[in-house]
Amino acid sequence: MFEQSGKKKVLLSVVLTVLVTLVQPVGAAQPASSWTDFFDGQSFELKDPVMRHEGKDIFAARYRAIREAKDSILVMTYGFKGDGTAETYAKELCRRARHGIKVFVLADGHGSPSFKTSGYAEKLVACGAHILFYEDMTFANPRGLLHVLHQKTLVIDGNRALVGSANISNWYLSGGRHSTEIYDLEVEMKGSIACELASQFMWMWNRTKRQKQPEGDIMGGQQMVAEHSANAIPVSELSTSEMWRQYGFRGCQLPAAKKSGPVKREAFSSHSIARSVMSDPLFTEQDLSTYPDQAREFPLLDAYLTAFSLAKKRIWIYAPYFTPGSQFIEALKAAVARNVDVRIVMNEYEQTVGEAAGALSYCAYQKAQRLAIAGAKIYLWTQSQLHRKAGLIDDEVTFFGSDNFYDRGQGYTSELMVFTQNRALVEQMSATMVDSMIATRADGQSIETSSSAISARLEQAETGEAFLCHLLRPLL
C-alpha cells in the first residue's frame, strides 16, 4: 500500500494502472490431494518457534538475536525509517559489524528514503556493513512504485530467523494488542527453514546487486558470489551450501544441497514441517533461472489456491488491506460452498491510514462484501491499524509473513510467506485469531459484520474514494 507521500506517484499511477491492468496475476492450484503433497519436495524443518505480538517484544527479540550472532546477520525490510528506533537498530548492527560479523541490509528504496537521508545508512556502511536499496521510483524508473521489496525478515547465522510484518520505526515499536497505533505479529524460528530463508536472501541480494550496479546506488554492497570472475561458477549451478562456503558464511544447517532439491519431509516430524514461498513476479526469466524454485510466475498465489482447495473445516485470515484478485476470492467462495468456515479479520474503514487510505478501504470493503454475500464471516478491527498478515487452515497449517492479501502483493511486489504444520504455531495462531475476533466488538462478544452493514458503509463513502479505488486498484 502507499506509505509515502509525493505528487509524482499520483501522476505515475495513472500510466502504471493502464499498464498493469493488462497483466493481471493468474495463478493455478497445484495438484495436491493432501498436505503431504503440498509440502513434499519443498519442505524444511521449523523448530523452537516463538510467536510475538507486542512491538516492544518484537524489537527486543530482534536486538537479542543480533547481539548473539556469531557469523552473519541478514536484514530484509520494506521500511527502515530515519527515526529513533531505526537509529537504535542501526547501532546494534554497527556494533556487530565492528566485531567482524557479516552484516547485510537489503531495504526497499521506496519504503526507506529516510534511512538514506538521515545518515544512518552511511554510518552503518562506515562500520563495515553492506547495504543495498531495492528499486527506487523515479520518472526514469516508474515501475519502482509497483515493484517494491515488501518482505520483513532477519536471519542470524543461517540457523535462526525472524519473519513477520513489522517494519523498522517508532510506530512499529509502539504497536501491540492494546495499542491505538498498530498491531503486528512476528515469529522466531530455528532449523533448516532459517537456512532456506538465508538462501532466498542471497538470491534477492545478488539479483538486486546486478540490477543496481550501473546506478552507483550501492552502499558497501558486495556480490555474495563472485560470479563475474574468470573462474566463477554461475549462481544457477551453485547449491545453497556452496553459496555459503564461497562467501565464507558458517553455520547454515540445510540437511541437503539446494540444487539436489529441498529436504524431504521424512527427515523430520510432519509437525515441524515448513515451506517458505517467496514471490517476485516481475523478475525476468533470466532472473528466475538463477533460482529454479521460483520459476513459476505467481508462486504465492499458486500456494494460496492450492492450500484453500485442501481446507475441510476452516480458513481464517488476517488481511489488513483485503484487495485480492478474483481467483483468490473465488477460491474462498468455493470453500464456503464446501461448508468451510471462512473468516476474514481486516481493518475497519477508518483504521487504514496513509496515502489513498480511503480508496484502499473502499476496495477492501467491496471485496469483503462479495465474500459476506457468499456466506463468509467478516470481522472489522477498530482499535488500531491491523498490520498482521497471517492465517490458519483447519487445525493443520498456519501461514505468516509480509503479504497483505492484495492483488499487488500476489502480482507485483516481492513478498514472502511461511507455511507450516508446526503444532505449537497452529495452536497459537488459532488462539490469537479468536482473541482478535472477540476484540472486534467493544462489549467483548464476537460478532461478524453483515453484508448489509458493509454495503451501508460503501454507500457513505466519498465519491472520490470510489473513483480512486477503481483507478488505483492495481497499486493498492
Instruction: Examine the pLDDT at 342 and tell me if it is beyond 60.
Output: yes
Superfamily of domain 12-43+298-476: Endonuclease Chain A (3.30.870.10)
Residue 126's pLDDT is: 93
CA distances from 70 to 45, 90, 160, 250, 284 (A): 21, 18, 11, 9, 35
Residue 354's pLDDT is: 67
Residue 450's pLDDT is: 79
Rounded mean pLDDT of the chain? 80
The grid coordinates listed for 20 are 498493469
pLDDT-based confidence at 473, cuts 50/70/90?
low
Instruction: Examine the pLDDT at 176 and tell me if it is beyond 60.
Output: yes
Residue 94's pLDDT is: 97
Residue 243's pLDDT is: 56
The more confidently predicted of residues 55 and 349 is 55
Q: Rounded to an integer, what distance in angstroms lies between the CA atom of residue 257 and that of residue 98?
A: 31
- pLDDT per position as a tens digit, 252-295: 655 443 433 444 444 556 668 999 998 875 554 444 444 444 44
Give the mean model confidence (pLDDT) for residues 208-220. Answer: 55
- pLDDT per position as a tens digit, 18-51: 444 444 566 666 667 889 889 987 789 999 999 9
Q: Do 34 and 310 contact (CB within 8 A), yes or no?
A: yes
Q: Do 346 and 450 contact (CB within 8 A), yes or no?
A: no
Give the mean model confidence (pLDDT) for residues 403-422. Answer: 87
- pLDDT per position as a tens digit, 362-398: 899 999 999 999 999 999 999 899 999 999 999 999 9
Terminal alpha carbon distance of the chain: 5
Q: Rounded to an integer, what distance in angstroms lies between the CA atom of residue 103 and that of residue 64?
A: 15
The grid coordinates listed for 405 are 492479501
Q: 260: how many CB neighbours lie within 10 A of its CB?
A: 10
The grid coordinates listed for 236 are 544457477
Q: Rounded to an integer, what distance in angstroms lies between the CA atom of residue 340 and that of residue 311?
A: 7
Residue 357's pLDDT is: 82
The most confident of 12-16, 25-29, 453-457, by mean pLDDT: 453-457
- pLDDT per position as a tens digit, 431-452: 999 999 988 865 555 567 778 8
CATH architecture, domain defined by 45-263: 2-Layer Sandwich (3.30)
Query: Where are the domain boundaries for CATH 3.30.870.10 in the chain?
Result: 12-43+298-476, 45-263
Instruction: Examine the pLDDT at 239 and tell me if it is beyond 70.
Output: no
pLDDT-based confidence at 1, cuts 50/70/90?
very low
